[in-house]
Amino acid sequence: MNSPPIQPRIRAVHPEDKSERRAAILAAAQSLLADDPQGSFPVESVAQAAGVAKGTVYLYFGSREEVMLAVHEKQVHELFDVIGDALAASGADAVSVVRIVLRHISRHRNFYPLAGRCRSMLDTKVSTDCALAFKTRLGERLADLGLVIERMYPGLAAGGGAALLMNSYALMIGLWQQADPPDCLREVMKRPEMKIFRIDFERQLAAALIDLWDAAGRRGAAARRSGSTKRSNA
């Protein structure tokens, strides 16, 4: 009644082979996501695209949602890498960082839909362990980058850098959710009543981000002047 494995794939015995297989599954999911941003494809499709059996997916991930979360995490860390590089560049300032980040994101627009669903993903079929690990790793990056920002804006309160990052990220995701027309509205976006939503997403986002970063810089400056260095929040 239970059928045996017919053509088992080459076995991933060593840890590095396992990481490779895991990565293959992630890549497969990511590739499917490109065609279907809503991610409404069965696990079997992911498996097929990765060249493994359905069950194998569950050897590397606890659930379908955990696969998707892992794809999201990968993309977020890539974004953080970009931010880190931008901040590390000589002469980096709010404007240059924002420009570089936006350029990256504009080339990875399939980042948004998944990111927008991240919160609800955590509410569904993601084990506490998995969610915790995800958040922990995220927190580490946030802390690291936050420190870099605090060094850039001396006087910014402790934690102010991370807060600025969170706010920026929030603005980015939130604004995309407002601005990106859903498929069913693509056609009617040209109507006059939709004018208000025909915004230049990247322009508006860039402006708002710069407002946020400038305000942080100004606050840092003010703090420096008055000698204080504590109290958090951007």
Partner DNA sequence: AATGAATGAGCATTCATTCAT
Partner DNA sequence: CATGAATGAATGCTCATTCAT
**Footprint of DNA on residues 57-76 (CB under 7 A)?**
58-59, 63-65
Judged by CB under 7 A, the residue of 34, 36, 54, 154 near DNA is: 54
Residue 178 burial (CB count, 10 A) = 10
Look at residue 102 and give the partner it binds from DNA, its own copies, none, a contact being a CB closer than 5 to 8 Å depending on partner kind.
none
Binding mask 183-212 toward its own copies (x if CB under 8 A, else -) reads: xxx-xx--x-xxxxx-xx--xx--xx--xx
Question: Checking phi first, is residue 91 left (phi over 0); if not, alpha (psi -120 to 50) or beta?
Answer: left
Report if residue 56 touches DNA, rule: CB under 7 A: yes
Task: Report whether 163 contacts 233 (CB < 8 A).
Answer: yes
The least CB distance from residue 25 to DNA, in Å, is: 10
**Footprint of DNA on residues 166-195 (CB under 7 A)?**
none
Binding mask 151-180 toward its own copies (x if CB under 8 A, else -) reads: --------x--xx--xx-xxxxxxxxxxxx
Number of residues that bind its own copies (CB under 8 A): 67
Contacts with DNA by CB under 7 A lie at 1-13, 17-19, 21, 40-44, 52-56, 58-59, 63-65, 125
